[in-house]
Structure 1
Amino acid sequence: MPKYSLVIPVYNEESTIPELYHRVSTVMDGLDDTSEAIFINDGSQDRTLQLLRELHDRDERVVYLSLARNFGHQIAVTAGLNYIRGKAIVILDADLQDPPELIPELIALWRQGYHVVYAQRTKRVRESWFKRLCAYAFYRILKQLANVDIPTDTGDFCLLDRQVVDLLNQMPERNRYLRGLRSWVGFNQIAFKFERDSRFAGEVKYTFAKSFALAINGLVSFSSVPLRLSTYLGLFSAVVAILMAILVLYWRIFTPHSTLTGFATIAIAIFFLGAVQLISIGILGEYIGRIYEEVKNRPLYTLSEVGHQKPRSSQPPDRSRSSS
């Protein structure tokens, strides 16, 4: 049984896999005990799966899972966590923005007794000012609104103790935000600061739309404040309506010919109340949609291939760590 496990989700990364394997294998060669690298092919449409098969044939430490379609980054990581065997588990992205060479330093902190060692970015190389601004704002808003302490400027790059992974695998929720879940479980946690590199090759997989969806998922999964926001908007609109009624009565008495008491005032009030209602319905819909996803009770993912063997089912071999 390997002592260290690396979980690496990949999606259309044929241009980065050779360099990724070279750097990851070099790190594994230098570790003090046995290790494995689990690549999760998240429905890639290029030569990614073929390259993983070749690596598996060449290096017995390389294991790969191939999802039957694209299920998303968080689900791909979850699939890897279901199958790992190590005592210390490192999650990193395949684009080499998370330097594999930092893994020994994460392990050193784990040996000191920390159950979660999360990498905290101090600098983002070659990212637009708009993306940096959005990320900065999101993490701080989430930290203020979430019901758990989610560290700022952290991604999925981290080391998890086996005990933490076992708890994460027992959580059945489908809209997963792993950065929040690893904070929710507790235990001894520590930040490891690093400068995030730029993508080695290929196109950015986390577009603005995907990043925004992940941000909404994290906010809704760990905060009920948006639900209260609709209540506050309703109270605010009620106060505005009362003030408008007083103003209209005043204008009717003292300025009866003013245009402010006509169609424009009514139209503004209608549009304002309509906006409040739509915002409230949208917020409520986000939470109801998650309830709908949970009650369907479908598996988190389906597998088409594990290593070179077809799986018997879409579930991990250990039923105590089932994805469904």
Structure 2
Amino acid sequence: MIEDFKLHSHTAPAEPLISIVVPVYNEEDSVGHFAAAIRTVIAESWPTGETAPRFEIVFVDDGSCDATAAIVRAMCRVDRTIRLISLSRNFGKEAALSAGLRAATGDAVIPMDVDLQDPPELIRPMIDKWQAGAQIVNAKRIDRLQDSFLKRTTSRMFYKTINALAEHPIAVDVGDFRLLDRAAVAVLNEMTERCRFNKGLFSWIGFRTETVEYARPARQAGSTKWGVSRLVALALDGITASTTFPLRVWTMVGAIISLAAFAYAAFLIAYTIISGADTPGYASIMVAVLFLGGLNLFSVGLMGEYVGRIAVQVRGRPLYVVAETVGF
């Protein structure tokens, strides 16, 4: 059955090499379906007689606990276009994708999800736009009907928030699924951020960009690994990696409140001197103390998010650790 995963490959040096980078975590039920789907789509997209690009699939196993790595390892033995990078533990999708981008050798690289919600049928249109001159080809979702109401709502809020704050807005409803020219990949590989938010990096580097649109299908196998806590962590990474505007906001808020406090203190002093009466008001004092205390705690927590990421960066530890490579 492993032979079904084999891809048609070409060796003519004039044909461009396309690297498909696929981070996987506990996806033993999905990797075979993915490889077979890619093989079928390539055969259908470039009919007999038409010169097709060469392809390689780079699976990045992000510390899976199941048989994902073993299955991909077996696929590598019968198909020299399939490669495996196994990380020593679970480092997260952003790190796994970075590992795949660094290992990919293609003239263009296409990151994809293994669940086939990134339609392989878009590979040909993306490559056509790339060969026409685009250096980045984004795949934009035109609907989110497969997502729950909560996920659609929070996604819209996330994009609106980050694009209102970010110095370089990210493309709305565009995930990691896109085509990246070798020049773009080379720039990404030079970046040293430890708290990676790849969507922000993709928008920051610039380059000539085109877009293809698609409706995202349902997941073909397995289950999503993105829980609420991981999505919140990714959102925080995205905001802190894209802008320092929240820090500037709280600087301005602090300045305004300080000026108001000084003005009110001057008023109390003047009132006491003129009227000679103390101003009672336990409730108003408590409200002021709690309000200012809450602002202080919130602003300290916000600064802590940035300081924590500075600490991670200063330590200089590797973004990921590779335990094994197969097929390279």
Question: Which among 117, 120, 129 is matched to residue 97 of structure 1?
Answer: 117
- 1:161 lines up with 2:191 in the alignment: no
Question: Which among 34, 41, 54 is matched to residue 27 of structure 1?
Answer: 41
Contact 1:42–1:66 under 8 Å retained in 2: yes
Letter in 2 for 1:199: R
Contact 2:82–2:327 under 8 Å retained in 1: no
Letter in 2 for 1:216: L
Question: Which among 287, 291, 312 is matched to residue 268 of structure 1?
Answer: 287
Which deviates more, 210-219 or 65-74?
Answer: 210-219
3-state SS of paired residue (1:56): helix
3-state SS of paired residue (1:124): coil
Any gaps of 5 or more consecutive residues in structure 2? 1-12, 47-51
Which deviates more, 162-171 or 116-125?
Answer: 116-125
In structure 2, what is the equivalent of residue 211 of structure 1?
231
Q: CA deviation at 1:248?
A: 7.5
Any gaps of 5 or more consecutive residues in structure 1? 310-324
3-state SS of paired residue (1:272): helix
Cα distance between partner residues in 2 of 1:70 and 1:118? 27
In structure 1, what is the equivalent of residue 49 of structure 2?
none
Q: CA deviation at 1:33?
A: 2.0
Cα distance between partner residues in 1 of 2:100 and 2:72? 15
- The 5 A counterparts of 1:30-41 are 30-31=45-46, 32-41=52-61
In structure 2, what is the equivalent of residue 320 of structure 1?
none
Letter in 1 for 2:326: G
Q: CA deviation at 1:205?
A: 1.0
Q: CA deviation at 1:195?
A: 1.2
Q: CA deviation at 1:85?
A: 0.9
Cα distance between partner residues in 1 of 2:60 and 2:147? 26
Cα distance between partner residues in 2 of 1:248 and 1:127? 56
In structure 2, what is the equivalent of residue 126 of structure 1?
146
3-state SS of paired residue (2:251): helix
Aligned CA distance change for structure 1 residues 134 and 251 (closer, same or farther; 3 Å): farther
Q: CA deviation at 1:114?
A: 0.4
Cα distance between partner residues in 1 of 2:160 and 2:106? 33
3-state SS of paired residue (1:75): helix
In structure 1, what is the equivalent of residue 196 of structure 2?
176
Q: CA deviation at 1:250?
A: 11
Letter in 2 for 1:139: Y
3-state SS of paired residue (2:170): coil
Q: CA deviation at 1:244?
A: 6.2
Which deviates more, 194-203 or 42-51?
Answer: 194-203
Question: Sequence identity, in percent?
Answer: 38
Contact 2:146–2:216 under 8 Å retained in 1: no
Contact 1:65–1:305 under 8 Å retained in 2: yes
Letter in 1 for 2:294: A
In structure 1, what is the equivalent of residue 251 of structure 2?
231
Q: CA RMSD in A?
A: 2.4
Which deviates more, 156-165 or 284-293?
Answer: 284-293
Q: CA deviation at 1:229?
A: 1.8
3-state SS of paired residue (2:73): helix
Q: Deviations over 1:53-98 (max 9, x none)?
A: 1211222111010000000001100000111111011011112211
- The 5 A counterparts of 1:232-311 are 232-238=252-258, 241=261, 261-307=280-326
Contact 2:83–2:327 under 8 Å retained in 1: no
TM-score normalised to the size of structure 2?
A: 0.86
Which deviates more, 118-127 or 163-172?
Answer: 118-127
Q: CA deviation at 1:160?
A: 0.2
Q: CA deviation at 1:246?
A: 8.3
Aligned CA distance change for structure 1 residues 240 and 272 (closer, same or farther; 3 Å): farther
Letter in 2 for 1:152: V
